[in-house]
Amino acid sequence: MNVMAKAEKKISSAFIYFFGSFGGILFGYDIGVMTGALPFLQADWHLENAASLVGWITSAVMFGAIFGGALAGQLSDKFGRRKMILMSAIVFMVFSVLSGVSPDMGEASAYYLIIVRMLLGLAVGAASALVPAYMSEMAPAKARGRLSGLNQTMIVSGMLLSYVVDFLLKDLPGEWAWRLMLGLAAVPALILFLGVLRLPESPRFLLRKGDEAQARKVLSYIRKNPAEIDQELASIKETAKEERQANQKTSWSTLFSGKYRYLVIAGVGVAAFQQFQGANAIFYYIPLIVQKATGQAASSNLMWPIVQGVILVVGSLVYMWIADKFNRRTLLMVGGAVMGLSFILPAVINWMMPNMNPMTIVVFLCIYVAFYSFTWAPLTWVLVGEIFPLAIRGRASGLASSFNWIGSWLVGLIFPIMTASMPQEAVFAIFGIICILGVIFVKTCVPETRGHTLEEIEEQGTNRGRVKASNPEN
């Protein structure tokens, strides 16, 4: 027992934060890998004129993630964040390999790959829900924005990694290229599994299960000041005590009770808007977007995803620098406004100047990606991790993740269908309007969380719920 305790004490806070957020690599790799694999898969399976089937193959992971996020959220409240992250890594490894060895059976091959990628999506959705919750529960309030932002850095690093892998494999025979692109996703999943084996459980989950001694030990790894540990433990215990006194049993209806409704709508709404704003249309289909704009073959445009990936990584680092210097709401509203204009202006310019250079839309997409990368991309997951009260955090984080993936799935599914029936500029203008609606939502429905402890944020929501209950006309 003493040997185990000594081994545990060697766990550094840097190791905890790194592997606590490493699940984002899996998330990001699978978002990005199909960008490069799709042109080769289309040619190998003769799917060039099958827009619906291409949309389903691309979006199948997101469809599975809808259910993976909700399921993992509930199970993590019962078994813990750490165990569920380990399970996600195993599922990810298995179905990544099965994607890469898809049998060539004609049209049936496409349906096999769709089903396998849906099951892979269970792990991707679980990671998207579990990692922000784990990181927010480990990080101190004053650094929670920056440390939770590690999740976004991992996501975009995973995307960039997949773009580079796609580019390096593009000269292989078509069948081998896409198979290796998809199958190599098992490598970061294995690294995640080995790293998380040494991670401790979240102190808030441990306290919720009554293990105060272990919760204190975990906090000692990541808090330097003993007084800070005592204060945080007391704050968490007080919240847990109030929940026990109320004999509260959480259910889906609990999420929308007067006490929690305000915070749940805010968190789930931000998660949904992040995807319905259309970012993943760029990330999944940028080679096809450039092909439609310039006439060049999509398989020869695999440098553009790398450009987008570099912008995303740089933006995530910018976010970590400014995360705790600006209010969350301010960054979301400024970012959303610029993103909306970046989508709307190409349609306006094309209407005024029909002979517009076709690459103009790609330039505006780069501006969109730049602002998305340090505002909505990281802040969505920071908010999802910190806005929900302890009693409902697992379930509510899962719900937010599911709505996020519903948006991602729909965008991935319908974008090729929309661009087959209308100009690209018009499609992106629709997404631009949704960006502006997201700005309005943040201004009217989302509380400020920067610098507040998780317990203070819960109190804000409770007070707001009481005001709404006593003044229903407001």
The CATH number for 458's domain is 1.20.1250.20
What whole-number distance in Å separates Cα of residue 155 and Cα of residue 152? Answer: 5
Cα 440 to Cα 23, 89, 319, 337, 458: the distances in Å are: 31, 37, 22, 10, 23
Would you place residue 474 in the very low, low, confident or very high pLDDT band (cuts 50, 70, 90)? very low
Which pTM does this prediction carry?
A: 0.77
Token representation of residue 282: 């760029």
Residue 4, domain member (yes or no): no
Question: What burial letters (b/e) apply to 416-435, b meaning 16+ CB within 10 Å?
Answer: bebbeeeebbebbbebbebb
Residue-range definition of the domain harbouring residue 83: 13-469
**pLDDT value at residue 465:** 54
Worst-scoring range by mean pLDDT, 36-40, 245-249, 314-318? 245-249
Mean pLDDT of 72-96: 87
Of the two residues 323 and 35, the one the predictor is more confident about is 35
**pLDDT value at residue 373:** 92
Mean pLDDT of 167-191: 89
Would you place residue 144 in the very low, low, confident or very high pLDDT band (cuts 50, 70, 90)? low
Would you place residue 103 in the very low, low, confident or very high pLDDT band (cuts 50, 70, 90)? confident
Supply the DSSP string of 320-362, one letter for each residue: HHHTTTS-HHHHHHHHHHHHHHHHHHHHHHHHH-TT--TTHHH
What SS3 state is found at 151?
helix
**pLDDT value at residue 113:** 93
Mean pLDDT of 331-339: 96
Would you place residue 137 in the very low, low, confident or very high pLDDT band (cuts 50, 70, 90)? confident
Would you place residue 267 in the very low, low, confident or very high pLDDT band (cuts 50, 70, 90)? very high
Phi, psi of 308 (to 5 degrees): -60, -40
Whether residue 161 has pLDDT greater than 90: yes
Eight-class DSSP state of 200? P
Whether residue 274 has pLDDT greater than 80: yes
State which H helix or E strand residue 66 sits in: helix 51-79
User: Going by C-beta distance under 8 Å and a sequence separation of 6 or more, which residues neighbour residue 467?
Assistant: 474
Mean pLDDT of 233-246: 67
**pLDDT value at residue 466:** 55
The radius of gyration of the chain from alpha carbons, rounded to an integer in Å, stands at: 22
359 exposure class (CB count in 10 Å sphere: 0-12, 13-18, 19+)? exposed
**pLDDT value at residue 181:** 92
Residue 1, domain member (yes or no): no
Would you place residue 243 in the very low, low, confident or very high pLDDT band (cuts 50, 70, 90)? low
Cα distance from N-terminal residue to C-terminal residue, the chain: 57
**pLDDT value at residue 250:** 65
**pLDDT value at residue 1:** 39
Residue 474, domain member (yes or no): no
Are 36 and 163 spatial neighbours (Cβ–Cβ below 8 Å)? yes
Would you place residue 323 in the very low, low, confident or very high pLDDT band (cuts 50, 70, 90)? confident
Worst-scoring range by mean pLDDT, 7-16, 22-31, 90-99? 7-16
Mean pLDDT of 353-366: 84
Would you place residue 242 in the very low, low, confident or very high pLDDT band (cuts 50, 70, 90)? low
What whole-number distance in Å separates Cα of residue 153 and Cα of residue 205? Answer: 25
**pLDDT value at residue 145:** 62
**pLDDT value at residue 447:** 85
Give the whole-number percent of the chain exceeding pLDDT 70. Answer: 88
Would you place residue 148 in the very low, low, confident or very high pLDDT band (cuts 50, 70, 90)? low
Whether residue 279 has pLDDT greater than 60: yes
Give the whole-number percent of the chain exceeding pLDDT 90. Answer: 26
Would you place residue 186 in the very low, low, confident or very high pLDDT band (cuts 50, 70, 90)? very high
Whether residue 406 has pLDDT greater than 70: yes
**pLDDT value at residue 301:** 72
Q: What is the mean pLDDT of the chain?
A: 82
AA letter at 87: M
Structural domains counted in the chain? 1
Hey, which of 44-48, 142-146, 366-370, 449-453 has the most confident mean pLDDT? 366-370
Would you place residue 300 in the very low, low, confident or very high pLDDT band (cuts 50, 70, 90)? low
pLDDT tens digits, one per residue of 417-452: 888 888 888 999 999 999 999 999 999 988 888 777
Closest listed residue to residue 438, CA positions, set 333, 328, 319, 331: 333
Would you place residue 44 in the very low, low, confident or very high pLDDT band (cuts 50, 70, 90)? confident
**pLDDT value at residue 6:** 43
Residue 8, domain member (yes or no): no
**pLDDT value at residue 371:** 96
Worst-scoring range by mean pLDDT, 1-15, 134-148, 216-230? 1-15
**pLDDT value at residue 246:** 46
